[in-house]
A and B are shown apart, each in its own frame.
Chain A
């Protein structure tokens, strides 16, 4: 282990970063509600809708893995309920799916709540119907996005069985391409292919062997180069990928980089730019990185402890 940290210290660092990020998210969630009169066909998805879904994702994983302390579990539960409340107990997602049968974000968002044990009966009936339609499965989208929908369907318990190996093979990662031609956006896509194939680290064994072997060699290189340029958000995503492997390959360096960047408040900056003094602006700028840190800390700790997540395979 380079950097002088034993694996136990890595886990401690991972846990601390994730726990502090969760507290920060919890303490600042008041800045992230949906605008009062949000309509179902708005265009500005990234302002509050998508971040609320991502908050639900992170907290659903904290609840799924169950390796957090009682305070963190309570915070995660509170945030999931906050987000569900923002979505009018799921009616918002249901109405958006009714209005737009071919958009996938209501299903993808809903799946995080299902993972946390929350159901919406009319949404379930609607999704079961839609998943029977060939048109829904023929929607044109990027390969890693297709995996996202497949995983959401799996988590939501839909009966459609996608051809996982074919979906994985279609991604950038599935090509096991030259590892020296990857850019920032492609790196994000790569990470998400892994997240969806393994359902965020629940099933490392589902990663195709070629992809696993490829990541074993190259993931440490990508962590190194993006840590060097202080892309903390992406480094966090890459460390989640590490936790999605049956045997993690990254050393302590990436975690140490994140630990050094995290503020005492728990805010983890997305990059090296100055953090805005306005707390609401700072929340908007860095809430995604908090989500990443929570997921990275949670999944890393859980897989290392050898705990099995609640089954999600449909």
Chain B
């Protein structure tokens, strides 16, 4: 659908949702799985001709989240998508993403996750080396700590490991408290992202006193319809191997 009067921010948000929707379609396109209406993989015959670079902001923002369905389902990433991911990096280098000096380290870690994931699909990328994760080493203030971990949720993918993951494993209870706090504040976006970490911990056999399945379902029903949020809940569900619901 053409947008006559959209702001750059709206175009950007639309691109994120569009790319998230496509990733969700890949993730849900399993045999015997019902694909939610609106989330089916796009039929190329029906696709409108559009600027091939229109999705780049979405690819750049979602980073490894856009690739996660291929990782989780073990399907190859089409060459044109590998190239698009690389182009997104070139068009939007880290210093264009609006990070402050306090949050630049988060971008560095997310780019690390994207680059690391892309190497699985044959693309070597040169990204800055992230630090030692000192920013998440202390989880005693679990409120702000869990929000930082939410911002790092695209790292919560099987196959990625490092000091951020080690901090998550050490602080399952802080993640659990953080997700409950986000749920009660109706910040479902943050809740879904923290749930990504809990899903990874569950897959690793780390115990925490929370059932993820009803929580993820609740986010989908109450979360306000963001495709990106739904994608996070579905990735989390896939990572834990929970039955679809």
Residues of A with Cβ closer than 8 Å to B?
Answer: 2, 178-182, 213-214, 217-218, 220-222, 224-225, 228
Instruction: Provide 16 A-B residue pairs closer than 8 Å at the C-beta atoms, listed in order of the A residue.
Output: A178-B210, A179-B210, A180-B179, A180-B180, A180-B184, A180-B191, A180-B215, A180-B218, A181-B218, A182-B184, A213-B209, A214-B209, A217-B209, A220-B177, A221-B181, A225-B181
Chain B interface mostly: helix
The 8 A CB mask of B77-115 against A (1 = contact, 0 = none) is: 000000000000000000000000000000000000000
A178 touches B176 (CB 8 A): no
- Residues from chain A with a CB closer than 8 A to the CB of B173 are 217
A217 to B142, CA, bound (A): 12
Contact of A221 among B184, B214, B215 (CB under 8 A): B184
B140, CB-defined interface residue at 8 Å: yes
> Chain A at the B interface: mostly helix, strand, loop or mixed?
helix
Question: Are B181 and A178 in contact, CB atoms less than 8 angstroms apart?
Answer: no
B215 — which chain A residues lie within 8 A by C-beta? 178, 180
Chain B residues near A228: list those with CB within 8 A: 185
Q: Separation in Å of the B223 CB from the closest CB of chain A?
A: 13
CA distance A252 to B186 in the complex (A): 25
Q: Is residue B211 within 8 Å, beta carbon to beta carbon, of the partner chain?
A: yes
Known: A2-B141, A180-B183. 10 other contacts (CB 8 A): A178-B214, A180-B180, A180-B191, A180-B215, A180-B218, A218-B177, A220-B177, A224-B143, A224-B181, A228-B185
Q: What CA separation (Å) do A182 and B180 show in the bound complex?
A: 10
User: Measured between alpha carbons, how far is A220 from B174 in the docked complex, in Å?
Assistant: 11
Q: What separation, in Å, do the CA atoms of A222 and B185 have in the docked complex?
A: 10
CA distance A5 to B142 in the complex (A): 16
Residue contact A225 to B185, C-beta cutoff 8 Å: yes
Residues of B in contact with A, size category: 20 to 34
Complex CA gap A178/B222 in Å reads: 15
How many angstroms from the CA of A214 to the CA of B211 in the assembled complex?
13
- What does the 1/0 interface line of B200-218 toward A look like (CB < 8 Å)? 0000000001110011001
Q: In the complex, what distance in Å separates the CA atom of A213 from the CA atom of B211?
A: 16
Nearest Cβ on chain B to A188's Cβ, whole angstroms: 15
Cα(A40)–Cα(B210), bound, Å: 48
Q: Which residues of B contact A217 (CB under 8 A)?
A: 173, 176-177, 209
Most buried by A among B181, B184, B214: B184
* Nearest CB of chain A from residue B41's CB, rounded to whole Å: 32
Binary interface encoding of chain B residues 132-175 relative to chain A, with 1 for a CB under 8 A from any of its CBs, else 0? 00000000111100000000000000000000000000000100
Question: Nearest CB to that of A253 among chain B residues?
Answer: B143
Alpha-carbon separation in the docked complex, A182 to B183 (Å) = 10
**Contact among B140, B185, B191, B211 for A178, CB-based, below 8 A:** B211
State the CA gap A2–B191 with chains docked (Å).
Answer: 23
Cα separation A155 to B180 with both chains bound (whole Å): 36
- Least CB distance, B222 to chain A, in whole angstroms: 10
B184 contacts across to A, CB distance below 8 A = 180, 182, 221-222, 225
Give Cα A215–Cα B142 distance, bound, in whole angstroms. 16
Residue of A nearest to B140 (CB): A2
Instruction: Determine whether the beta carbon of A179 is less than 8 Å from that of B180.
Output: yes
CB nearest to A229 among chain B residues: B185
CA distance A181 to B177 in the complex (A): 13
CA distance A178 to B210 in the complex (A): 7
The 5 A-B pairs with the shortest beta carbon distances in the complex, nearest first, are: A180-B183, A225-B184, A180-B180, A221-B180, A179-B180
Whole-angstrom distance between the Cβ of B201 and the nearest chain A Cβ:
15
Residues of A within 8 A of B214 (CB): 178
